[in-house]
Amino acid sequence: MSTNPSFSDTTERSRDFYIIVYTIFMACSIVLTPLSRNLCYWIFMKASKRLHNKMFSNILQAPMRFFDTNPSGRILNRFSKDMGVIDELLPRSTLEALQVFLVMAGILGLVFLMSPWMVLPAIVLGALFYYFEVVYVTGAQRVKRLEGVTKAPVFSHISSSLCGLATIRSCDAEQMVVREFDSLQDEHTSTCCLIIISSETFGFYLALISATFLSFVTFQFMIFGGGITGSATVGLVISQAMILTGMLQIGPRQTAEVASNMISVERVLQYCKLNKEGPFETLPANKPSRDWIEKGKLIFKNVYLRYSPDEEPVLKNLNLEIQPGEKVGIVGRTGAGKSSLISSLFRLANIEGTITIDDVDVSSIGLYELRSKISIIPQEPVLFSSTIRYNLDPFGKSTDEDLWNALDKVELKSAIESLDQQVSEGGSNFSAGQRQLVCLARAIVRNNKVLVMDEATANVDIGTDALIQKTIRDNFKDCTVLTIAHRLNTIMDSDKVLILDAGQAVEFGPPHELLQNPDGAFTKMVKETGTIMEDRLRIIAQEYYELNLPKEKDKNT
Ligand SMILES: Nc1ncnc2c1ncn2[C@@H]1O[C@H](COP(=O)(O)OP(=O)(O)OP(=O)(O)O)[C@@H](O)[C@H]1O
């Protein structure tokens, strides 16, 4: 029986009111929590995709110098580890840190409301907490950076071990490679260990701070008992302060986690701001005629090439004129600059001076256009893990008949069952010679006026070498062909031979004419092959010279 109906009604009404308010809050929380989480994840995913795409396109357009100075492991690490952190860990840790700090702010607000004097110990403990946080975050970031740095060599080691597996096994060097791997792995693991230890130590100091705060909250009732009214309020303050203890453990660690995960963002951003090669597209004002390169006349004028601005030039004052359709052999000792000459043609490094092809300065042409107009067969043939059709004609511009014709010309028709036959990774289901022949067939399909061979026959047997030379003579008759060779017989039947030494052209002319100079660099190189070979080479040079004498005379008249 109620003694005071009006008081009872008011209490009943206010209880109902609070239950309704509480229910509304709960309903809002149920709806808003997943909504806000999804919104945050959507924003994070969008940012991560943009970062990935930007980094990828920047790396594709980076100059060759970038790949010379950055090991593949480091680049792979940005795409695997760092992108993994940005995709998976960063959104979670950021959201959790945000939530924990909001809850902490709510609890502190409640404690201060109920017991304002708690602000004083909170300020002192907050300052202490800030100090620990700064010390920990600074250290954690450095250790995390170190972890990234020590991880890249592990990746590089694995990828180079896989590449050189045959050599490792043949040299019985498995144990050495395992030891190297273990030492790299140990270094990386020790940084991981450091991350865990520093995090645990930080946690210990946070536990001390939160325990002190909880003690203050609890003992205040004994000291200032009258300050807080009602046992319910006391219970509320203590239970909230106890939640704060847990939050104080999670929150700062999450903040530190966010800060260290942000290092991955910093590392990805580094690769988003790389210098680019280029320009890739030709400016409309410099657009050459549609059928440029029509003849294949190359002129090098005072060309210097440097791989890095602060290094000495590798090609020095190169002056050459290569006539349309000429077959030029390039020889020189190792490091003489033969491959660098080819790099200058493709603008793979910084060049000074001018290189013109059919009277068009290559520096005025976009890289896409320039590089697509020159065919190259490198020493290591490049095959894609796709069909034979794709390997011969990646841009799908030729008919099947053209592709079969090209395969026929390199005598691969019988070895290929169908244009849809798959090529394994790196062309491993083809022999080294066959891979070169597929590259040669690709060059035939491409039908460019300038062909470059960079020691293309160094790894093939003499039969395939001869077939490649014959195919080039038959199919690239009207093309300008530059051949870097270390087998001198490959270039003895060239129209001209260029001898490079320390980045300079020391001799340039028909091989037979160069051999008439007994003190010439070319003569010395031929003599070094031994008397029998020298005689054979001289005969080849002479026969080719006499055979082409009428052609030369025609050209001159
Ligand atoms: N990517 C590069 N970055 C820096 N320097 C380079 C680079 N490539 C070559 N060099 C330097 O340029 C010089 C000429 O090298 P290049 O590869 O052109 O010689 P090469 O005549 O083709 O030698 P090889 O016959 O051994 O292939 C060498 O001293 C080499 O150290």
Q: What is the mean pLDDT for each group of 10 consecutive residues in the chain (557 residues)? A: 49 78 92 91 95 95 90 88 93 90 87 82 87 86 85 88 91 94 94 90 87 83 62 79 80 81 92 87 82 91 91 92 93 91 91 93 90 88 91 91 92 89 88 88 92 81 80 86 86 92 93 92 92 91 81 53
Give, using CA atoms, the residue closest to atom 24 of ligand 1: 334
pLDDT in tens, 10-61: 566 678 888 899 899 999 989 998 998 899 999 999 999 999 999 999 999 9
The verdict on whether omega for the bond into residue 510 sits within 30 degrees of 0, i.e. cis, is no
Give, using CA atoms, the residue closest to atom 3 of ligand 1: 307
Per-residue pLDDT at 3? 45
Distance 427 CA to ligand 1 centre (A): 26
Q: How far apart are CA 419 and CA 416, in angstroms?
A: 7
**Close Cβ partners of 362 (under 8 Å, ≥ 6 residues apart):** 345, 347, 355, 356, 370
Distance 133 CA to ligand 1 centre (A): 50
Per-residue pLDDT at 12? 60
pLDDT in tens, 405-451: 999 988 888 888 899 999 988 888 888 888 988 999 999 999 899 99
The ipTM (two decimal places) reads 0.96
Distance 66 CA to ligand 1 centre (A): 16
Contact status, residue 144 vs residue 263, Cβ threshold 8 Å: yes
Atom of ligand 1 nearest to the CA of 68: 1
Tokens standing for residue 32: 């808003």
Distance 355 CA to ligand 1 centre (A): 20
Pocket test for ligand 1, best of 338, 341, 347 (most atoms within 8 A of CB): 338
Distance 479 CA to ligand 1 centre (A): 26
Distance 444 CA to ligand 1 centre (A): 28
Pocket test for ligand 1, best of 339, 501, 506 (most atoms within 8 A of CB): 339
Chain position carrying tokens 């030492």: 183
Q: How far apart are CA 84 and CA 87, in angstroms?
A: 5
Pocket test for ligand 1, best of 67, 307, 331 (most atoms within 8 A of CB): 307
Going from the N-terminus, what domains does the chain have, and what CATH number goes with each? Answer: 5-272 (1.20.1560.10), 328-346+366-556 (3.40.50.300)
Distance 511 CA to ligand 1 centre (A): 25
Per-residue pLDDT at 2? 42
Give, using CA atoms, the residue closest to atom 5 of ligand 1: 307
Per-residue pLDDT at 1? 41
Distance 318 CA to ligand 1 centre (A): 16
- Degrees (nearest 5) of the Cα angle 15, 21, 25? 140
Give, using CA atoms, the residue closest to atom 7 of ligand 1: 307
Q: How far apart are CA 251 and CA 548, in angstroms?
A: 84
Question: Mean pLDDT across the chain, nearest whole number?
Answer: 87
Give, using CA atoms, the residue closest to atom 25 of ligand 1: 334
- What distances in angstroms separate CA 160 from CA 153, 167, 527, one per listed residue? 10, 11, 39
What's the whole-model pTM score? 0.72
Atom of ligand 1 nearest to the CA of 336: 21
Q: How far apart are CA 557 and CA 552, in angstroms?
A: 9
Give, using CA atoms, the residue closest to atom 30 of ligand 1: 335
- What distances in angstroms separate CA 185 from CA 71, 75, 160, 204, 364, one per listed residue? 17, 18, 15, 29, 48
Of 468, 487, 494, which Cα lies nearest the Cα of 533? 487
Give, using CA atoms, the residue closest to atom 16 of ligand 1: 337
Atom of ligand 1 nearest to the CA of 343: 18
Q: Report residues whose beta carbon is within 6 angstroms of any ligand 1 atom.
A: 68, 307, 314, 332, 334-340
